Amino acid sequence: MSVRSVPGSRWVIKGARVLNGDPADLYVDDGVLVDDAPANADVIDADGLIALPGLVDLHTHLREPGREDAETVETGTLAAALGGFTAVHAMANTDPVADVAGVVEQVWRLGQQAGHCDVHPVGAVTVGLAGERLAELGAMADSAARVRVFSDDGKCVHDPLLMRRALEYVKAFDGVVAQHAQDPRLTESAQMNEGEISGVLGLAGWPAVAEEAIIARDCLLAAHVGSRVHFCHVSTAGSVELVRWAKSKGWNVTAEVTPHHLLLTDDLVASYDPVYKVNPPLRTHQDVLALRNALADGTIDAVATDHAPHALEDKETEWAAAAFGMTGLETALSVVATAMVDTGLLDWAGVADRMSIRPADIGRLVRQGQPLIAGAPATFVLIDPAATWTVDASQSASRSRNTPFAGRELSARVISTFLRGAPTVVDGKPT
């Protein structure tokens, strides 16, 4: 099918199962879903496919500006669309850092130009991610990029007083601080999860408590000042317990988990292949099970990719010298299907909730994560739930190749992605 469409096109999606419900036709006219089939529409046969609202990623590294050799807004958002995403939050740790209105607007405009999905820049909490003084959070919120999520991701806002101030300050524009929970002193030169395997491999350990101590502190801080707080990539069973406890108190706490922490464990590090080097590190089987259960019961609100592309030379090194991070946009939905749907922990409506509706709400995105009913934006993804496929890193649309899933067989596959009535991906290929 060769269709190059622009908003305003008319579509009939025949026989799609919305949230895995009964087959029904979806009608698209002028960027929104409508009740009746529009005249002169293009028809897509969606027999056997599931329709979900377009996926929303709270945590993407697009690397532009600064490391265009690893990823650009163009390549990263194309990978996102192929993965079923219609919106991504672009993390602030670029070069220059996205800590002023100028940088976030630049990233936002690059996203608009690329057109593969919405790009919502994340603003840095502190100037230069240095953890010393607040960046101009209000200016970024008021900019064209309308920043609502602020994060020093890659670094922890470690100073408790600074964190308190940030939590309080963003209330003025309904923003949220997304904390990268990692006590720096407890993780000095840390290389992998601290446990049996780190001891055997002689790699400096990264204790779970370094994450959990910050989460506990920030839950208490958020409750004290009456702010909401979001935790990036929680990775341990203990973190899950703390978030569960904070939610039971009625505090405004949300959390995300990455696909890789739902599937991979620290024993993979025994190969010393830095494709498995990531921050926070791969944890134990027990942690993986706790994270899956927490995502299933809603303790963890969202799946976020932490897509972290790296140039080959930053990964083809000895372990200690390699960069932290894994790509994830193109595999996220399939990993979640494999880890959560195949195991019976989550149904497809649950997947829509954790990968679209809730992340859109956390990011305060009004045009994303909407139910697929008449009047809503025609922003959705069609998924073949019966497909299985083997990940081939060389086929990635990302500029980088550091996927830990290479060679793995995963379930379910994104077939088509629509952003406000315009297809960004059709039949698994970019339009």
The footprint of other proteins (CB under 8 A) covers: 191, 194-205, 207, 271-273, 313-314, 316-322
Cβ at position 274, least distance to other proteins in Å:
8
**C-alpha dihedral (356, 58, 177, 399), degrees to nearest 10:** -170
Cβ at position 201, least distance to other proteins in Å:
6
Cβ at position 237, least distance to other proteins in Å:
16
Q: Say how far apart CA 25 and CA 35 lie, in whole Å.
A: 10
Q: Say how far apart CA 372 and CA 26 lie, in whole Å.
A: 8
Q: Say how far apart CA 330 and CA 290 lie, in whole Å.
A: 24
Q: Say how far apart CA 392 and CA 209 lie, in whole Å.
A: 35
Question: Is the Cβ of residue 60 or residue 284 nearer to other proteins in the bound state?
Answer: 284
Q: Which of 303, 399, 391 is nearest to 76 (CA)?
A: 399
Question: Is the Cβ of residue 277 or residue 413 nearer to other proteins in the bound state?
Answer: 277
Question: By the 8 A CB rule, do 190 and 205 touch?
Answer: yes
Q: Say how far apart CA 164 and CA 429 lie, in whole Å.
A: 45
Question: Is the Cβ of residue 164 or residue 315 nearer to other proteins in the bound state?
Answer: 315
Question: Is the Cβ of residue 121 or residue 205 nearer to other proteins in the bound state?
Answer: 205
- Is 306 tagged catalytic? yes
- The torsion angles phi and psi of 241, rounded to 5 degrees, stand at -65, -40
Residues in the chain: 431
Handedness of CA 226, 240, 233, 361 (dihedral sign): negative
Q: Which of 294, 307, 308, 204 is nearest to 255 (CA)?
A: 294
Cβ at position 188, least distance to other proteins in Å:
10
Instruction: Give the DSSP letter of residue 92.
Output: S
Enter the tokens of residue 262.
Answer: 């739902």
Cβ at position 273, least distance to other proteins in Å:
8
Q: Which of 234, 244, 232, 185 is nearest to 210 (CA)?
A: 185
Question: Is the Cβ of residue 13 or residue 201 nearer to other proteins in the bound state?
Answer: 201
Q: Which helix (H) or strand (E) holds 104?
A: helix 101-114
User: Angle at the Cα of 123 (from 80 to 138), degrees rounded to 5?
Assistant: 140
Enter the tokens of residue 326.
Answer: 């894994």
Question: Is the Cβ of residue 193 or residue 368 nearer to other proteins in the bound state?
Answer: 193
Cβ at position 203, least distance to other proteins in Å:
5
Cβ at position 322, least distance to other proteins in Å:
7
Q: Say how far apart CA 92 and CA 185 lie, in whole Å.
A: 23
Cβ at position 267, least distance to other proteins in Å:
12
Question: Is the Cβ of residue 200 or residue 366 nearer to other proteins in the bound state?
Answer: 200
Question: Is the Cβ of residue 197 or residue 357 nearer to other proteins in the bound state?
Answer: 197
Cβ at position 284, least distance to other proteins in Å:
11
Q: Say how far apart CA 247 and CA 219 lie, in whole Å.
A: 9
Q: How many CA atoms lie within 13 A of 419 on its CB side?
A: 26
DSSP string, 359-387: HHHHTT-TTSS--SSTTSB--EEEEEEEE
Catalytic position from the list 287, 306, 314, 353: 306
Q: How many CB atoms lie within 10 A of CB 131?
A: 17
Instruction: Give the DSSP letter of residue 105.
Output: H
Question: Is the Cβ of residue 198 or residue 279 nearer to other proteins in the bound state?
Answer: 198
Q: Say how far apart CA 214 and CA 182 lie, in whole Å.
A: 7
Residues that are catalytic:
306
